[in-house]
Amino acid sequence: AQSVTQLDSHVSVSEGTPVLLRCNYSSSYSPSLFWYVQHPNKGLQLLLKYTSAATLVKGINGFEAEFKKSETSFHLTKPSAHMSDAAEYFCVVSGGGRRALTFGSGTRLQVQP
Amino acid sequence: DTAVSQTPKYLVTQMGNDKSIKCEQNLGHDTMYWYKQDSKKFLKIMFSYNNKELIINETVPNRFSPKSPDKAHLNLHINSLELGDSAVYFCASSQITGGSPLHFGNGTRLTVT
């Protein structure tokens, strides 16, 4: 079985300050982990993925995430928020085989000017 | 070039009607999916097809019937629409089932009145 928990449903930051979106996962297998972003009225876009290579994963738009097996976490960070980062962010886990990806409940990131 | 395209973008219909949503991908992927996103942004897998074979069929009312004429197309037909079917439906594809990232369409917003 696999599951993912996004610890914050809503995060608000000021433009230019760091972003931290938290995600914990559970998987019976060595997981693949992803972060997706969804802008209003749009589809989901892949930000980055972890597939058992380097534990620090760099993605698009300056985002990165660190896989910590001991903490079962895969938090998403960005050093400096931009107004265009305001969106819904989803942490996703895959347990391998033919299992579909399991999505977290999402974190809405608000960026204040 | 649009990688995953779904039509229509918006669909407004009355209870009891039958409607279809079409999806096509030009990425050469073997696996396609339908996800439902509710009003709270929660994404839930409905179906998954691998090379025209149904491999995931979650607990979905049998009023929903997917059809895959070939591996580049996965359509969703819904009979006897109900108010609770109102949601955004996303088509997605991936190279293989399991740990591959998903490529999403822009969604179809279905409103049942």
Task: Please check whether residue A10 lies inside any domain of the structure.
Answer: yes
Where is pLDDT greater, at B71 or A87?
A: A87
Residue A108's pLDDT band (boundaries 50, 70, 90)?
very high
Is a pLDDT exceeding 80 seen at residue A45?
yes
pLDDT in tens, B60-77: 899 999 999 998 999 999
A95 pLDDT above the threshold of 70: no
Instruction: Judge whether residue B1 has pLDDT over 80.
Output: no
pLDDT in tens, A53-70: 788 999 999 999 999 999
Mean local confidence (pLDDT), A77-82 = 97
Token pair belonging to A111: 């960026």
Q: Are B55 and A103 within 8 A, CB to CB?
A: no
pLDDT of residue A2: 82
Query: Which residues on B lie below 8 Å from A108 (Cβ)?
Result: 41
Contact of A43 with chain B, judged by CB distance below 8 Å, is answered with yes
Does a structural domain hold residue A55? Answer: no
Lowest pLDDT segment from B2-11, B14-23, B37-46, B53-62: B53-62
What structural domains does chain B harbor?
A: 1-7+35-76+87-108 (2.60.40.10)
B18 min Cα distance to partner chain A (Å)? 24
Residue A28 lies in a domain: yes
Q: Does residue A40 form part of some domain?
A: yes
Residues on chain B touching A46 (C-beta within 8 angstroms): 101-103
Among residues A95, A90, A72, A75, the alpha carbon closest in space to that of A25 is found at A72
Total beta-carbon pairs less than 8 A apart between chain A and chain B:
60
Number of domains in chain A: 1
CATH of the domain at A10: 2.60.40.10
Q: Tell me whether B101 touches chain A (CB under 8 Å).
A: yes
Q: Do A101 and B105 touch (CB under 8 A)?
A: no
A15 φ, ψ (degrees, to nearest 5)? -55, 135
Domain span including residue A84 = 2-50+64-94+104-112
User: What does the block give as tokens for A29?
Assistant: 């297998």
Residue A56 included in any domain: no
Instruction: Please state, rounded to an integer, the average pLDDT across all residues of chain A.
Output: 91
Which chain B residues have a beta carbon less than 8 Å from that of A44? 43, 90, 92, 102, 104
The span from the CA of A92 to the CA of A90, in Å, is: 6
- Residue A37 above 70 pLDDT? yes
Predicted local confidence at residue A104, as pLDDT: 94
Judged by CB atoms closer than 8 Å, whether chains meet at B43 and A90 is answered as: yes
Q: Do A32 and B99 touch (CB under 8 A)?
A: yes
Q: What is the mean pLDDT of residues A95-110?
A: 82
Query: What pLDDT score does A97 carry?
Result: 61
Extended beta strands in chain A, E state? 2-6, 10-14, 19-21, 23-27, 32-38, 44-50, 56-58, 64-68, 73-78, 87-94, 102-103, 107-112
Q: Does A21 reside within a domain?
A: yes
